[in-house]
Structure 1
C-alpha cells in the first residue's frame, strides 16, 4: 500500500507539472511570460490607461488685465505675480473651469525663501489657456529652485502657450552650505503634491535652469504636442510617477548640467511605473534622449532619436538600468559619432548582483543607424528583428538572452571592428536563431545551460 501511495503521488506531481507547462508560452522567449500578456508581435501588452482631466463645467473667464492691474509688457515681476495670482485665485473661487491668459509677455517671480523663487500657482479643476502670443517668463533670479507654473491639485490642463526660463541671465550664486552652483531645479511646469489627471498640451517650454517639466509623485500625467528645448538639466524629469504618457513632443538641445536627457525616469525610493513614451522626436540632447533608472513597465515606442550635427552624446540615445523593466520597440535611432560608450543606440547599465525582478527587457523592431546595443551583468532579454547598421550587438555576463532575426552590418568607417565585433558574447546563456551578419546567416551557439564566450574574446580582441 505504501508503494502504491508513492506511485500515485508521483503521477499526480507529473500531471501538475505538465498542466503548468501548458500555461507557459515558450514562443522562443525563454522568459516565462504568459501568452495572454503578449501581443501578436511578442511584446507585452499595454494594460494601463492614462486618465485625462475632465472639467465639471464650461464656464470661461478671460483675465481682465485692467481690472486686476496686470502688466503684460514684460515689466514689474513682483506686481505681475501678485495681481495675476489674485485673478487666478478669484476665478477659481468663482467656479470658472477655464481661465484664459490674454496675449502679452508676463514676467513673474516671487522671493519665497533663500533657495526658492515662486511663480504662478494653478489649482484643481482648472484649464489654464494661453491666448496666441502669450508668454509667461520667470524673472532673473539667483535661486537654486523655481517653478514658473506650479500645479496644486487634481484635474488640471495647461495649454497653448510659451513658458520661458532665465538661463541666459540667471545669477548662479554659490550655495552657502557647500559652495555649489548647479542651480538645476528651475522648472517650467511642476506637477507635484500628488496631483492626478494633468494634461500639458501644445506648449513651448524653454531656457529653464533645470527641467522643462518636473513630475514628482503624480499620477495620470500626459504631455502631448509640446516643444521643449534648451533647458539645462532635462526636457522632462519623472521623479515618482504612475501612468505617465509622453507623446508627439519635440524635445531637443537639452544641455548645461547633468544628466541632460530628453526624458529622465529617476525616482529613487519612489514608484515609477506604467510609463508610455511614444511618437516623439528627440535631437541634439547632450546626455541622451531617454534614460530609465527606476521605472517599471516603461514603454519606449515609435520614437525618432537623432544625435544631430555637432552634438556629442555623453551616455547615448537610450539608457536603462538592469533593475528596471523596459520595452523598446520600433524606434529609429541615428548616431553621427559616439558617446563615452561608443556608438551604442541602446545600453543597459548594471551595478551587478541581483537583477531585482524576473521580467525581461524587450528590444524589438528598432532601426539603429550607425549604432548598436550592449547589455551586461544582468539577465532576461528578448531581442528580435532589429537592424543594427554599422556597429555591433554585445552581451557580457548575461543570463537568458533570446536573439532572433536581427541584422548587423559592418561599419564602413571602422573596418577594424569587423573581426570579433559584430555579434559579441562573453559568459552568456540563452538561444539564438535567424540572425544575419550582412547577408549571411550567423551561427551563434548559445545554450540555455552552458555559458558561451567567443574565442576571440578569450584571446583579448
Structure 2
C-alpha cells in the first residue's frame, strides 16, 4: 500500500511550531492508525512540529516515518531526560528519514531541577528501563539533521537484565570438574570448573526472549580470577535427562534456549577454581539494539555526544557528519562505552568528524569494532580517537586524521591510515596486555609514542614517516620529534623515516629498556640527530642522514647491535653498555665514521666495509676516545679505505687503563694506525703489507 500523508486537521496536529501536547499525541495516533490500515510509510507535511517533552514520537515496526523535510523540535523544558523520537518497544524493520530533529540546548532550563541534564536525546533507541523492550531490530535512520540536544543526537541503550541465581550465589558455586557435552554427565576434568547451580529456564525474561548468557558486572568485569573467555552450557529436560549442549560460548554472547529445556548448567574453560571474591559474572538476559543503521545524517551542536552506543550489536554508522559537540563531557562524536563487551560488530565508515570539543570516536569496551574510511579533523588537545584497553579485535583502516591525538591501548590493527600533524600514542599495562599492529600507514609531521609495559606487543610495519618545514604547526605535542620511546621494547620493520624533524628524530625517556628491534628500516635526508634506542638493527639504511647518536637512556639499557646495515652517517656511541657493528657498509664523505666514547662493557667491529670516496681529510676513520670505560674492544675482519692517506684506527685510551683492545685481520688502504702500544694487533694488512 502506498504511503499515508498525515492529515493535520484530522489528527489535531500543528505544523507551525505550536501546541506540543496535541501535536505529539496526534502524530503518534496517526502512526498507529496508518499501521493498522497496512500503510508501510507515513509522511509528514512540511513545517515545524513542536514535540511534547513527556510524549516522544514513537515509530512502529514495519513502517517508515518520513518527516517530509519537516522539523521535529522539542518544547523548551527543564527535564533531566527526554527524547524527541523514541524506539523502546522492540520495533523491527522501522525507518526514520528525511528531516530535522532539534533539541532545546540553548533555551533549556538547567537550574530548576538539579542534575547534569545530559539525558536529552534527539533519537533514543532502547533504554535501561524501556517502555516495552530494547530489542530493536533492523532499524534505519537516515538523511536527518539532528542538533542542539542537551545530551546526545542519537543514543543506543541496553538493559542489564540480571536473572537468578544472583552473582554472589553464582560466584560461590564453582567446583573442579566438567560436564560431558554429549550426554550431560559430570566428569573428572582438571582443566574445567563447573557450577553446582541449576539455571531455571522458566524465568520470565528467558521465556520472553528465549536466550540468556554470562556477562560481566556493571563495569563489564568478569572477575580477577576468571582467566578464560569461553564456557559450555548443558541443557536438561524437567526429568533431568540430557537435551543439548552449547559448546565454547564466549562471555557477552547470547545462548539460545532449545525447546523442551527446563534448566541448564555451565562449565568454564579454566583449571583453577576461583574464590567467591574473584568472580563477578552475572547471569543476564540483556535487551539491546541489533542490526541498526545510521546513514547520511548530520549531527551537530549537541551538548554531550553525537552518538552514544551503550550496548548494541551489528550497528552501522555510515557517511555522517558529526561536528561541534560541546557542553558536558565526554563532548564527543561517537562514544562506545556502557554495555562493555555487549558492544560488538560496530561499523563506523565514511564519516566526517570535526570541531568536537572532546573525542571524535572513543571505544571504552567492545569487540569487533571497525573504524574505516573516516575523516577526522580536530582543533582540541583532547584525545580525538581512542580505543581503550578493554577493546578486542578492532580494525582501524583507511582513515585520514588531521591534528589529532590518537590513543590506542586495546587489541587493534591500525592499517592504511594517513595522519597529518598528529600524535599516535600506543600504551597499555601488564594486567591486560593487548597486541597493537600499526601497518602501512603514512605519518606526515607526526609523533609516535611507544609506551607499552609488555615487550614486543607493538609492531610497526611498512609505515612511512615524513617531516617537512610544517612540523612546527603540528598538533601541540607532536612537533618536537617523530618517535618517543618509553617502557618496554617493541618492533619496527620495513619502515621509512625521511626529512628533518623540528628538534630531533627520536626522544628516549629515562627508564626506557633496551632490546628494540629494527628490521629493514630506512632513514633518509635527516640532518638532525637520530638518537636511536638500544636494540638490534638488521638490514637498516642510513642515507643522507646527519650524525647518528647512540645514547642509551642508561648504561644498562644501551646495548646496540647493527647487522648488515648501510651508513653514510657518522656514528657516535656514548653512554652504552655494548656496541656491535657487524657486516655493515659505511660509505663516508667526511668526519669520523665510528666514534667510541663512553661504553661500559664491550665493542665489536667485525666484517665491515668503511670507505671514503672523497679526498678530504677526516682526522680518524675509527676513533676510540679517552673516555672509554669498558672492558674490551675487538676490531677485526674490516676493510677500511680512502683516496688519500688518513688515520684508519686511532686509540686515545691511556695505556695504563685495563682495557683489552684487539685489532686483527683488517685490511687498510691509504690508512694507518695511531695506537697507544697496549693493543693486541695481528695479521692486519696496510697498503698490501702485513703488520
Name the TM-score class by shorter chain: 0.7 to 0.9
RMSD between superposed Cα atoms in Å: 2.8
Q: How many Å separate the matches in 1 of 2:365 and 2:335? A: 10
Q: Aligned to 2:136, which of 185, 190, 195?
A: 195
Offset, 1:428: 2.8
Q: Are residues 285 and 414 of structure 1, via their aligned partners in 2, closer, same or farther at CA, if it must alter by over 3 Å?
A: closer
Q: Aligned to 2:4, which of 56, 61, 66?
A: 61
Offset, 1:93: 2.3
Q: How many Å separate the matches in 2 of 1:401 and 1:272? A: 25
Q: Are residues 374 and 127 of structure 1, via their aligned partners in 2, closer, same or farther at CA, if it must alter by over 3 Å?
A: same
Higher helix content, 1 or 2? 1
Aligned residue number for residue 130 of structure 1: 67
Offset, 1:445: 5.8
Unaligned runs of 5+ in 2: 127-133, 158-287, 507-513, 519-532, 536-549, 556-691
Q: Aligned to 1:425, which of 481, 485, 489?
A: 485
| Contact kept? 1:239, 1:270, Cα under 8 Å | no
**Pairing 1:105–2:105 present:** no
Aligned residue number for residue 150 of structure 1: 86
Offset, 1:414: 7.5
TM-score (norm 1): 0.74
- For residues 414-456 of structure 1, give each alpha carbon's deviation from its aligned partner in whole angstroms, at most 9, with x where no partner exists: 799899942233333443212222159x9996359xx968956
Q: What SS does structure 2 have at the residue aligned with 1:81?
A: helix
Aligned residue number for residue 80 of structure 1: 23
- For residues 349-388 of structure 1, give each alpha carbon's deviation from its aligned partner in whole angstroms, at most 9, with x where no partner exists: 5xxxxx7xxxx41111111110121111243111111122
| Matches for 1:135-214 after TM superposition, within 5 Å | 135-151=71-87, 152=89, 153-173=91-111, 175=113, 179-180=114-115, 182-192=116-126, 193-214=134-155
Offset, 1:200: 0.4
- For residues 180-233 of structure 1, give each alpha carbon's deviation from its aligned partner in whole angstroms, at most 9, with x where no partner exists: 3x2111111111111010000101111111111011120001011111111001
Higher strand content, 1 or 2? 2
| Contact kept? 2:471, 2:479, Cα under 8 Å | no
Aligned residue number for residue 272 of structure 1: 343
Aligned residue number for residue 530 of structure 2: none
| Contact kept? 1:239, 1:267, Cα under 8 Å | yes
Aligned residue number for residue 497 of structure 2: 437
Aligned residue number for residue 650 of structure 2: none
Q: How many Å separate the matches in 2 of 1:174 and 1:270? A: 37
**Pairing 1:322–2:389 present:** yes
- Count of residue pairs brought into register by the alignment: 368
Offset, 1:122: 1.1
Q: Aligned to 2:332, which of 261, 266, 273?
A: 261
| Matches for 1:273-312 after TM superposition, within 5 Å | 273-307=344-378, 311-312=379-380
- For residues 397-424 of structure 1, give each alpha carbon's deviation from its aligned partner in whole angstroms, at most 9, with x where no partner exists: 2432111121223463179989994223
Q: How many Å separate the matches in 1 of 2:473 and 2:30? A: 62
Aligned residue number for residue 435 of structure 2: 380
Q: What SS does structure 2 have at the residue aligned with 1:203?
A: strand
- For residues 157-179 of structure 1, give each alpha carbon's deviation from its aligned partner in whole angstroms, at most 9, with x where no partner exists: 0011111111111101354xxx4
| Contact kept? 1:127, 1:156, Cα under 8 Å | yes
- After TM superposition, where is structure 1 displaced by more than 6 Å over at least 4 residues in a row? 414-420, 451-454
**Pairing 1:405–2:462 present:** yes
Offset, 1:255: 0.8
Q: How many Å separate the matches in 1 of 2:479 and 2:553? A: 10
Q: Aligned to 2:309, which of 210, 235, 238?
A: 238
Q: Are residues 425 and 393 of structure 1, via their aligned partners in 2, closer, same or farther at CA, if it must alter by over 3 Å?
A: same
Q: What SS does structure 2 have at the residue aligned with 1:321?
A: strand
Q: Are residues 162 and 248 of structure 1, via their aligned partners in 2, closer, same or farther at CA, if it must alter by over 3 Å?
A: same
Offset, 1:73: 0.4
Q: What SS does structure 2 have at the residue aligned with 1:189?
A: strand
| Contact kept? 1:384, 1:406, Cα under 8 Å | yes
| Contact kept? 1:372, 1:388, Cα under 8 Å | no
**Pairing 1:446–2:516 present:** yes
**Pairing 1:120–2:57 present:** yes
Offset, 1:269: 5.0
Q: Are residues 100 and 428 of structure 1, via their aligned partners in 2, closer, same or farther at CA, if it must alter by over 3 Å?
A: same
Q: Which structure has the higher relative contact order (CA within 8 Å, separation 6+)?
A: 1
| Contact kept? 1:432, 1:445, Cα under 8 Å | no
- For residues 230-281 of structure 1, give each alpha carbon's deviation from its aligned partner in whole angstroms, at most 9, with x where no partner exists: 1001111111010011111111111111101111101245600001111111
